[in-house]
Structure 1
Amino acid sequence: MKEINIGKIIVAKRREKGLTQKDLAAYIGVSKASVSKWETGQSYPDITFLPQLSAYFNISIDDLLGYSPQLTPVDIKTLYHRLADDFASKPVAEVLAECETIIKKYYSCFPLLLQMAALLANHHMLAIDSESAKTMLEKAVTLCQRIRTESDDRTLTREVIAVEGLCYLILNQPDQVMELVGETVRPFPADTEMLAQAYQMAGNQTKARQVLQISMYQHLLFLVATASAYLMLNASDLGRVEMILARTLGVAELYDLKALHPNTMAQVYHAAAQVYAIHQDADTTLSYLADYTQVCISDFFPYTLHGDDYFDVIQPWFEDFVLGVSAPRSDEVIKQSMLDGLVANPYFDFIKADRRFIKLIKQLENHLNNEGDTQ
């Protein structure tokens, strides 16, 4: 990231032109000592000199200042993951203070603001109390609203809806979600399929194959991930629950989702366990919690997005993501959430004394602790 560093830029540009400090001072109409102080960082040029200096060096005022209000995608990815790691290792208030400084500094860098909103939403549970968590989510909403109203990047404004909607759900504001996304479900657009056909017609079979794989991969994850919410919605009807699980787990097994996208499978097993916990069915609850635990301890870390033998040309797509192939939370935060999914979930209070439940917790704790030692 760039900081205001006008002194070094004046030195560099002056030397490019073969000028002495005295030459530059004479042109600007100041003393040689003034130029020396600018270059050593003891003082800054008066604001009225900036147009004259930038014109003389044939650069913009922004370039003269050495500051850009925008960050590159690489800058944003690096910054996000560094702050995500900080949330896992530093006091939350300290990290939030730095986030606020960065937001103010780059308030017109909308791609960064989107990731800062996602960062706050993804780590609100680490706040010291519920009110602080609410403040983090409300800040994320404010950033999302700024992007939607100020940015002319249509792709960015579509992406921000998902983050803003998630915040409303966590804040228990369903009306805001319906206002944001609309109350009518529209069919998926056929953009991806048309793009693949266009690549095929143009003779680019490789690109057409990649586009269709990306489409199938996304639809697959949408189908299986949505099942978690559908299970909870139908929790009172165990007949339907069994049907949902049979179809969902059948698809998951067919595509080997435990290996392809273990986080999605962990969510499905966890939701299934919660449904049977509602019915106080200890055996079935523990069975799905065992599946959940097994996914969590089976090559989950370091967590990265990846394809497989079937989805064999989508890796470059992942690598082009703003955050790259890494998860939006640090591994340490993910590990804690895995444990919290068992020990801090009130659905499972009725089996907390069950030796099988205690064994699962110890199994998960031991694996995650050893995993941390080996990385």
Structure 2
Amino acid sequence: MNEINLASILVAKRREKGLTQDAVAAFIGVSKASVSKWETGQSYPDITFLPRLAAYFNISIDDLMGYSPQMKQSDIAKLYTKLANDFASLPFDDVIAECAAIIKKYYACFPLLLQMVRLYTNHFTLARTQEQKEALLNETMTLCERIEAESGDMQLSNDAVMYQSVCCLALRDPQRVLDLLGETVRPMMPKGVLISQAYQLMGNIDKAKETLQAELYQHVMAVFQGLLNVLQLNINNIEKAEAAFMRASDFARIFDMERLNPNNVVLLYALGAHLYCVNKSPEKSIELLEKYVDTCVEGFFPFELRGDSFFDLIDPWLNDFDVSAPRSEQVIKNSMMRDVLMNPAFNSLHEVPEFQRLVQKMNRFIE
């Protein structure tokens, strides 16, 4: 991220062109002392002089000031990782203040704004009070509205609408979700398949294969998430929920979900344990919680979405779209304990020795 650094740039450009301070002063119409103060940082040029200075050195005003309103995608990814780690180790208010300063500075860099939306969506639960949570969610929605209205990028706009819907759900405003997304699910156009066929007609078979794998990968993840949602919605209907659990388990095995997306696997074990605990099957619940803890401890970190022997062409696609962990490792570990093992749904298991052993194992892992 570039800081405004007009003084050093003026010196560098003047020397690069072999000019004196007198020459610059004469062209701009100021004294040599004024130019000297600009170059030492004692003062700044009047705003009306900036276009003249930029034209004199044949550069843009942004280049003259050493400022860019945009960030490279690689820098955005690094910044996201840094801020996610900060949320795990620094006071929440301090990190939010830093985020606000970054947003203000790069308010026209819409890929960055979308990542800040993602950052806020994944960390608002760390706020100390409900008022803080709601304020951050509302601020996130304002950023989403700006991206949708101003970015001119269809994909960024679509992503912003999805994140805005997530915020509305967190704010318990379901009607606004329906207003944003519509009230019915429309038949899905096979965009990736069409793109793949286009590459095939162009003779670019490798790109056609890569695109088709990316499309299928997304559908696999969407189907698995759908099965988890069916399981959760029917948690008190053992027959329907168990059918969803068994199908999701088969799906996870067939598509090697533990390698492709270990987060999906731990969600499956956690929801399955909840299902059997609610329906008075503590032995099955403990069995799945043991699988949950083992996967968290032994197969989750370092978190990385990646392909396998079947999806062997998607790694470059995953890297391009920055699908790294949305939160820092420590925050994720804490949520593994808080959101699952300490969930009130498992209160009936607290005195069971096997459950206590799992809690101890998870505590050791977190520490």
Task: Calculate the TM-score normalised by the size of structure 2.
Answer: 0.96
Give aligned pairs, total. 367
1:312-347 per-position Cα deviation (integer Å, ceiling 9, x unaligned): 1111001112xx352111111111111112343111
Answer yes or no: is the 8 Å Cα contact 2:231–2:242 preserved in 1: no
Q: Which residue does 1:333 correspond to in 2?
A: 331
Q: Which residue does 2:49 correspond to in 1?
A: 49
Q: Deviation of residue 368 (structure 1)?
A: 3.7
Q: Which residue does 2:96 correspond to in 1?
A: 96
Equivalent-residue separation in structure 2 for 1:304 and 1:35 (angstroms): 53
Q: Deviation of residue 230 (structure 1)?
A: 0.9
2:351 to 326, 350, 353: 353
Tell me, yes or no, if structure 1 residue 85 matches structure 2 residue 56.
no
Q: Deviation of residue 41 (structure 1)?
A: 1.1
Equivalent-residue separation in structure 2 for 1:140 and 1:244 (angstroms): 34
Equivalent-residue separation in structure 1 for 2:167 and 2:323 (angstroms): 23
User: Aligned letter for 1:245?
Assistant: F
In the TM superposition, 1:23-34 aligns within 5 A as 23-34=23-34
Q: Deviation of residue 278 (structure 1)?
A: 2.5
Q: Deviation of residue 365 (structure 1)?
A: 2.2
Q: Which residue does 1:194 correspond to in 2?
A: 194
Greater mean alpha carbon deviation, residues 83-92 or residues 220-229: 220-229
Q: Which residue does 2:238 correspond to in 1?
A: 238
Equivalent-residue separation in structure 2 for 1:64 and 1:303 (angstroms): 42
Q: Deviation of residue 35 (structure 1)?
A: 1.0
Identity %: 47
Q: 3-state SS of the aligned residue for 2:299?
A: coil
In the TM superposition, 1:29-178 aligns within 5 A as 29-178=29-178
Answer yes or no: is the 8 Å Cα contact 2:231–2:271 preserved in 1: yes
Q: 3-state SS of the aligned residue for 2:186?
A: coil
Answer yes or no: is the 8 Å Cα contact 2:276–2:284 preserved in 1: yes
Equivalent-residue separation in structure 1 for 2:316 and 2:259 (angstroms): 19
- List runs of 5+ in structure 2 lacking aligned partners: none
User: Aligned letter for 1:362?
Assistant: Q
RMSD: 1.4
User: Aligned letter for 1:230?
Assistant: V
Q: Which residue does 2:268 correspond to in 1?
A: 268
Answer yes or no: is the 8 Å Cα contact 1:225–1:268 preserved in 2: no
In the TM superposition, 1:290-369 aligns within 5 A as 290-321=290-321, 324-369=322-367
Answer yes or no: is the 8 Å Cα contact 2:259–2:306 preserved in 1: no
1:255-307 per-position Cα deviation (integer Å, ceiling 9, x unaligned): 11112211011112112222223234322222221221122122311111211
Q: 3-state SS of the aligned residue for 2:336?
A: helix
Q: Which residue does 1:372 correspond to in 2?
A: none
- List runs of 5+ in structure 1 lacking aligned partners: 370-375
Q: 3-state SS of the aligned residue for 1:298?
A: helix
Equivalent-residue separation in structure 2 for 1:26 and 1:280 (angstroms): 88
Equivalent-residue separation in structure 1 for 2:281 and 2:172 (angstroms): 29
Answer yes or no: is the 8 Å Cα contact 1:4–1:66 preserved in 2: yes
Answer yes or no: is the 8 Å Cα contact 1:261–1:305 preserved in 2: yes
Answer yes or no: is the 8 Å Cα contact 1:260–1:308 preserved in 2: yes
Q: 3-state SS of the aligned residue for 2:19?
A: coil
User: Aligned letter for 1:21?
Assistant: Q
Q: 3-state SS of the aligned residue for 1:158?
A: helix
Equivalent-residue separation in structure 1 for 2:298 and 2:221 (angstroms): 19
Task: Calculate the TM-score normalised by the size of structure 1.
Answer: 0.94
Q: Which residue does 1:225 correspond to in 2?
A: 225
User: Aligned letter for 2:254?
Assistant: L
Q: Deviation of residue 159 (structure 1)?
A: 1.1
Q: 3-state SS of the aligned residue for 1:87?
A: helix
Answer yes or no: is the 8 Å Cα contact 1:342–1:361 preserved in 2: no
User: Aligned letter for 2:193?
Assistant: E
Answer yes or no: is the 8 Å Cα contact 2:21–2:32 preserved in 1: yes
1:68-112 per-position Cα deviation (integer Å, ceiling 9, x unaligned): 222221221121111111101100000001111111111121111
1:132-187 per-position Cα deviation (integer Å, ceiling 9, x unaligned): 12211111111111111222111110111221111111111111111110011012
Equivalent-residue separation in structure 2 for 1:300 and 1:171 (angstroms): 30
Q: Deviation of residue 57 (structure 1)?
A: 1.0
Q: Deviation of residue 200 (structure 1)?
A: 1.6
Greater mean alpha carbon deviation, residues 68-77 or residues 360-369: 360-369
